[in-house]
Amino acid sequence: MKSEGSHAAFARARQLMPGGVNSPARAFGGVGGEPIFIDHAEGAYLFDIDGQRYIDYVGSWGPMILGHAHPEVIAAVEKAAARGTSFGAPTEAESELAELIIEAVPSVEKVRLVNSGTEATMSALRLARGFTGRDVVVKFAGNYHGHVDSLLVAAGSSAATLGVPNSPGVTAGTTKDTLVLQYNDVAGLERAFDEHGKRIAAVIFEPVVGNMGCVVPTQAFLDALNGLTKRHKALLICDEVMTGFRVAYGGAQSLFGFEPDLTTLGKIVGGGLPVGAYGGRAEIMHHVLPEGDVFQAGTLSGNPLATAAGIATLRRLRDEPPYATLEERSRQLAEGLDDAATRAGIPHTVARVGSMLTLFFIDRAVVDWTVSESSDTARFAKYFWGLIERGSYMPCSQFEALFVSAAHRPEDIAATVQAAAEVLGEISAHAGGN
Ligand code: KE4
């Protein structure tokens, strides 16, 4: 499968933009080779600029739960565009989208729309610090919450270690109040609260992790997160940018039955256009400017085109919930990948919640970043390119979740499973069966 057009397009792009991309996740750094340039997409399929078709399991990293170019979403955006693209003044569409979010997510009584998941988490952290008057925030290794300076920290060596920057340009002062713990580590969380409890403004976490591959929280960890934050009067921020409207219409919190203090959203709430959101208890959101004094603003927040796409997407998910079908197709894919790797004799595990899942090239359950980072990424790269050659487009990193959309048909899943069986068989034969 030659991508001559992508090769030339990438050469041009690298002259113009750092790494030739506008987000590093797209650069194929985790699998080597060059990214594929997309011409258009429809339903479950991407079409590259050389005319190759791929069954898409990235879905723009989550937003495209209905599939690409859904007629209702396209029509809503076209209609909105004809009426003007941005006014810098309030519109009823913003209230419509806010109402859909509030009705869907039990813990959200008031919400503020922003333009990305990063803006949502950055603002939620500022609000938590403003509301509590405290400085320290807790995050977990392998959880990604966008490129928020104070969250770009290396994993601390122990519960007592406050963060050090893991990116140039992030100052020690920015990360000195960030504590990085291991996901699913209840004892570590307890020690952190013992040591820093009165200074902790918030704990932010992914309720189903997508950003170290798919990792599921234990019930004990969820109980500790809720119990310890309440006991120490810290806020629990549930980052549902990826899981919101993905694993259930009400997000992971509705699936697992807990109510965080603040929730961040993105991806699906914009239906592929730039929308992020943060919301929660009215008494907390009351502190956001101009009602309160925690500053946050944005020229294009609640943009008419983005809200139109978000409204059309959420209405469709509410009125014709695809979750039973997504569960069936995703289970078919997960079992097929698991079976293919088992038949090939390749050490692996599969983790899944709803229509987000990961095939890990490691021989044990992935419970946190220390396990996930031990996965065989070289083998993952061979698997990735083998599937590309056979027309299935997986996330270009072992440390990402794949997504199934409502547009994926049983025959698409079967084709991908067949391709995986061939690729994994070749990998195994080449490696002498281990
Ligand atoms: P954005 O700023 O990229 O809209 O959202 C940041 C973000 C926040 N929280 C969670 C749980 C997220 O998964 C993300 C973004 N996810 C990545 C993919 N794992 C976006 C892909 C990219 O960076 O290009």
pLDDT at 159 over 60: no
- Cβ atoms 204, 121 nearer than 8 A: yes
CATH number of the domain that residue 274 is part of: 3.40.640.10
Q: For residue range 164-202, what is the model confidence (pLDDT) as tens digits?
A: 788 999 998 999 999 999 999 999 999 999 999 999 999
- Measured distance between the N- and C-terminal CA atoms of the chain, rounded to whole angstroms: 28
Q: For residue range 207-231, what is the model confidence (pLDDT) as tens digits?
A: 999 999 999 999 999 999 999 999 9
In 345-410, beta strands by DSSP E: 349-353, 356-360, 392-393, 402-403
Rounded to the nearest angstrom, the distance between the alpha carbon of 23 and the centre of ligand 1 is 10
Residues 87, 185: one domain? Answer: yes
Residues 113, 260: one domain? Answer: yes
* Nearest protein CA to atom 6 of ligand 1, as residue: 146
Q: Can you give the pLDDT at residue 375?
A: 97
Tell me which residues are annotated as active site: 144, 239, 267
Among 289, 319, 349, give the residue marking a domain's end. 319
Residues 309, 414: one domain? Answer: no
Among 267, 289, 319, give the residue marking a domain's end. 319
Rounded to the nearest angstrom, the distance between the alpha carbon of 346 and the centre of ligand 1 is 30
pLDDT at 432 over 80: no
Q: Can you give the pLDDT at residue 165?
A: 83
What would the mean pLDDT of 266-273 be, rounded to a whole number?
98
pTM above 0.95, yes or no: yes
Among 319, 348, 370, give the residue marking a domain's end. 319
Closest CA to 9 of 21, 26, 23, 18: 21
* Nearest protein CA to atom 1 of ligand 1, as residue: 117
Q: For residue range 351-399, what is the model confidence (pLDDT) as tens digits?
A: 999 999 999 999 999 999 999 999 999 999 999 999 999 999 999 999 9
Residues 230, 109: one domain? Answer: yes
Tally of domains within the chain: 2
Q: Which domain holds residue 54?
A: 4-65+322-433
Rounded to the nearest angstrom, the distance between the alpha carbon of 48 and the centre of ligand 1 is 23
pLDDT band at 162 (very low <50, low <70, confident <90, very high): confident
What would the mean pLDDT of 119-147 be, rounded to a whole number?
97
Residues 18, 139: one domain? Answer: no
Q: For residue range 407-427, what is the model confidence (pLDDT) as tens digits?
A: 999 999 999 999 999 999 999
Closest CA to 308 of 120, 113, 118, 124: 113
Residues 26, 99: one domain? Answer: no
Q: What residues are in contact with ligand 1 under a 6 Å CB criterion?
A: 23, 25, 61, 116-118, 121, 144-146, 206, 210-211, 239, 241-242, 266, 276, 400
Which of 241, 269, 358 gets mutated to test ligand 1 (max ligand atoms within 8 A of its CB)? 241
More confident of the two residues 430 and 9: 9
Rounded to the nearest angstrom, the distance between the alpha carbon of 146 and the centre of ligand 1 is 5
- As a 3-state breakdown, the chain gives helix, strand, coil percent values, each rounded to 5, of 45, 15, 40
Q: Can you give the pLDDT at residue 341?
A: 98
* Nearest protein CA to atom 5 of ligand 1, as residue: 117
What would the mean pLDDT of 109-121 be, rounded to a whole number?
98
What is the number of the ligand 1 atom nearest to the C-alpha of 401? 19
* Nearest protein CA to atom 8 of ligand 1, as residue: 145
Residues 236, 288: one domain? Answer: yes
Rounded to the nearest angstrom, the distance between the alpha carbon of 431 and the centre of ligand 1 is 34
Residues 201, 83: one domain? Answer: yes
Phi, psi of 237 (to 5 degrees): -105, 115
Output the average pLDDT for the chain.
96
Which of 267, 268, 394, 397 gets mutated to test ligand 1 (max ligand atoms within 8 A of its CB)? 267
DSSP 26-84: GGTTTT-S-PPPEEEEEBTEEEETTS-EEEESSGGGTT-TT-BT-HHHHHHHHHHHTT-
CATH number of the domain that residue 360 is part of: 3.90.1150.10
H helices of 296-376, in order, are 304-319, 323-343, 369-372
Residues 348, 410: one domain? Answer: yes
Rounded to the nearest angstrom, the distance between the alpha carbon of 430 and the centre of ligand 1 is 35
Which of 123, 242, 357 gets mutated to test ligand 1 (max ligand atoms within 8 A of its CB)? 242
Between the alpha carbon of residue 34 and those of residues 9, 280, 286, 339, 432, the distances in Å are 10, 41, 47, 30, 28
Residues 157, 60: one domain? Answer: no
Residues 211, 293: one domain? Answer: yes
Residues 280, 391: one domain? Answer: no
Strand pairing of 45-48 and 38-42? antiparallel
pLDDT at 283 over 70: yes
